[in-house]
Amino acid sequence: MAEPKQIGIATIDARQLTAINRLQWLTVAWMCVEVAVALLAAMRAHSVALAGFGADSGIEVLSAVTVVWRFRSDRQHAEIAATKITAWLLVVLAIYIATASISTFIFLRKPEASYLGMILLLTAALVMPWLGRQKRRLAMAANSAALRADAAQSSICAYLAWIALAGLLLNAFAHAWWADPLAALCLIPLVIKEAKEAFEGRRCERC
């Protein structure tokens, strides 16, 4: 049986550590695909929704790498530092959503239809909930607030995917360009709640 390893404030065995590392690098790989495809589709369609989704995916890459660093460090402050970083990334995400949504209303930016974007968003909406569940399960096992915050980012990414997809569909078939930014604004309270919990360093018994 593998010996447990003390990492920061958590004790996990080698199998859990391997599972966490694999899941985080899988997240990095998938997020890089999302960033590339989302930004390409956004430029072609002039879509704020897709640009916002791409930005969220970029933040998710940084968050995943931060968690990898946290579990490779055996210093006591690693858990706290990683949690704070992921919390600030959630704050950045909330600011970006608010800024992009409000600017869409002010400047009346009307994106074109993007079928490539729709395919990406549908795929992300199915993949990200699975990633979020796996991260929350491992966060509970490792009692890691940093991994819990990263799991929250994965869940938020899935919500954003569904909302952006709805916006693209409504814009393409009903010409309701305002639906996407309005729905995105409704996500901000959820993002702020998760960031607040991460800043507080909430432990994962309730993950």
> 121: closest CA among 90, 171, 166?
166
pLDDT digits (tens, 9 = 90+) for 8-64: 444 567 788 888 889 999 999 999 999 999 999 988 888 877 887 888 888 888 888
**Separation of first and last alpha carbons in the chain:** 27
Give me the pLDDT at residue 12, please. Answer: 66
Q: Does any domain span residue 1? A: no
Q: Does any domain span residue 148? A: yes
- Average confidence (pLDDT) over 63-83: 75
- Average confidence (pLDDT) over 80-102: 82
Structural domain count of the chain: 1
Distance, in Å, from the CA atom of 115 to the CA atom of 121, rounded to the nearest integer, reads 10
Judge contact between 154 and 60, C-beta under 8 A. Answer: yes
Q: Does any domain span residue 88? A: yes
Give me the pLDDT at residue 134, please. Answer: 92
Token reading at 13 = 């065995």
Q: What is the three-class DSSP state of 114? A: coil
Q: Does any domain span residue 83? A: yes
Token reading at 115 = 């079928």
Res. 3: pLDDT tops 80: no
Q: Does any domain span residue 206? A: no
Ramachandran class of 47: left when φ > 0, alpha when ψ lies in -120 to 50, beta otherwise: beta
Ramachandran class of 8: left when φ > 0, alpha when ψ lies in -120 to 50, beta otherwise: left
Give me the pLDDT at residue 123, please. Answer: 95
Range of the domain at 130: 12-200
User: Residues in the chain, how many?
Assistant: 207
Q: Does any domain span residue 65? A: yes
Judge contact between 49 and 111, C-beta under 8 A. Answer: yes
What is the pTM for the complete model shown?
0.75
pLDDT digits (tens, 9 = 90+) for 155-205: 888 888 898 898 889 888 888 878 778 877 887 887 788 788 778 765 444
Res. 78: pLDDT tops 80: no
Residue that is written with structure tokens 């607030």 in the block: 145
Q: Does any domain span residue 4? A: no
Q: What is the three-class DSSP state of 5? A: strand
Q: Does any domain span residue 192? A: yes
> Which are the contacts of 25, defined by CB distance < 8 A and separation ≥ 6?
64, 68
Q: Which of 79-93, 99-113, 193-207 has the lowest mean pLDDT?
A: 193-207
Q: How many CA atoms lie within 13 A of 23 on its CB side?
A: 25
Tell me, what CATH number does 65's domain have? 1.20.1510.10
Would you give the DSSP letter of residue 6?
E
Res. 6: pLDDT tops 60: no
Res. 118: pLDDT tops 90: yes
